Copies of this chain bind each other. A is one copy, B any other.
Amino acid sequence: MGLLSKPIKTLDDLFVHTLQDIYYAEQQITKALPKMISKATDPMLKQGFEMHLEETKNQVKRLEQVFQMHGQPAKAVTCPAIDGILEEANDILGDVKDNDVIDAAAAAAAQAVEHYEIARYGTLVAWARELGRDDCASVLEQTLKEEKAADAKLTDIAESRLNRLATQR
């Protein structure tokens, strides 16, 4: 925690801190997705990433809405978890040479990102409800549903196409 950050004493402080963490994470994902789009060769995967980039931009706006509803400035705090997950995604996409194997690796890397978000939004929804902020919970839940759907779609593309194509190399 930075020297100027507010100390975390209550569940409300923890909720706000976690909003700031996922706000940073969504911004980093917005920056990382164009590279994944350019690396992907399978048309369904590429299109899935393009759609998810648009969804992610909207999720950033939703977080700004939640900050406002909760009377807090929209602020990002560095999230070492997403930095590590995206660093690993970047490393693996650099290490694999064959296009079909890159697609399988890219889908798996994206699923690690989705699962981080599912964990965080799941927690945020539960904390918002406990804090009596059902209004914030319902906005955060829209994103949680999108992340789960994105993960399920990646499983479907990987298991129906990408993994099979990658074994032919």
Residues on A lying within 8 angstroms of B by beta carbon are 1, 7-11, 13-14, 17-18, 21, 79-85, 87-88, 91-92, 95-98, 101, 104-105, 108, 111-112, 114-116, 118-120, 122-123, 126-127, 130-131, 155, 158-159, 163-164, 166-167, 169
Contact = CB atoms under 8 A, between A and B. Distances in A.
6 contacts: A1-B95, A9-B98, A11-B166, A80-B85, A112-B120, A116-B116
A126 B87 CA distance: 23
| Chain A interface, DSSP helix/strand/loop, else mixed | helix
A122 B155 contact: yes
A79 to B, nearest CB: 6
Contacts of A92: 8, 14, 17
